[in-house]
Amino acid sequence: MQRSTVNDLIREGDAFLRSFGFRLPPFAYWTPEEMAINDHKVIVERGMGWDVTDYGQGRFDEMGLFLFTLRNGQVKDIEARRGMLYAEKLLISRKDQLSPMHRHMLKAEDIINRGGGKLILELFAGQPDGSIDRESDVSVPVDGQSKTLPAGGKLSLEPGESVTLLPGVWHAFWGEGGDVLIGEVSTVNDDKTDNEFEMDIGRFANVEEDENPIHLLVSDYESYLQ
């Protein structure tokens, strides 16, 4: 993915968020130079900020996701059983744009349709060894009501509806009928180690630097903020 495309997607994503009345925190709009000179320690160590991914496949319109991590704890908080044990994100899933099948080992998450089209989730239970169970039903809480689907069943969430996905539940999702604004409220999020994909793909985009970044992605921090 070219940096110019990432920059355009950040601008478009911010406008989409604003159309629903969401405003991002001030650090979202720091330039790379401002990020470097401001106190960015907590932001960087917790992976807060912009995240635009095509999963390294170069087909963002078909398979990709826009995210912004607003707040996040650390895995050590979970291990210590104290501190900041939660995270919050905003996501945009475009119409018919796949976020591919994956599971989390640690993170439990509420996925909330905040507005736009329908959010469709394809769901599978996990085997005891963590692999996909392609035979058994899968049960998930949907706004406090248990819902059971067959393996690979499609759950449709209208704006305002949400689903709770516990660790080990395999899921893929996409927008139907339009782009979807998604809220995610979860336990601590660690995108470097807590995603297992069904396909052999990466979590982050491989960015080609055809122009300067307007804002850094979370995956840029290590190389830009030495």
Query: Average pLDDT in the 28-51 region?
Result: 97
Query: Average pLDDT in the 218-223 region?
Result: 95
Please give the model's pTM, rounded to 2 decimal places: 0.96
CATH, domain 3-117+176-224, list 3.40.50.300, 2.60.120.10, 3.50.30.10, 1.20.140.10: 2.60.120.10
Tell me the pLDDT tens digit for each residue of 145-171: 999 999 999 999 999 999 999 999 999
8 Å CB contact between 187 and 83: no
8 Å CB contact between 209 and 3: yes
d(CA 29, CA 125): 39
Does position 108 have pLDDT exceeding 80, yes or no?
yes
For the chain, give every domain's residue range. 3-117+176-224
Q: 95-126 as b/e, with b when 16 or more CB fall inside 10 Å? A: eebbbbbbbbeebebebbbbbbbbbbbbbbbb
pLDDT of residue 141: 98
Tell me the pLDDT tens digit for each residue of 49-75: 999 999 999 999 999 999 999 999 999
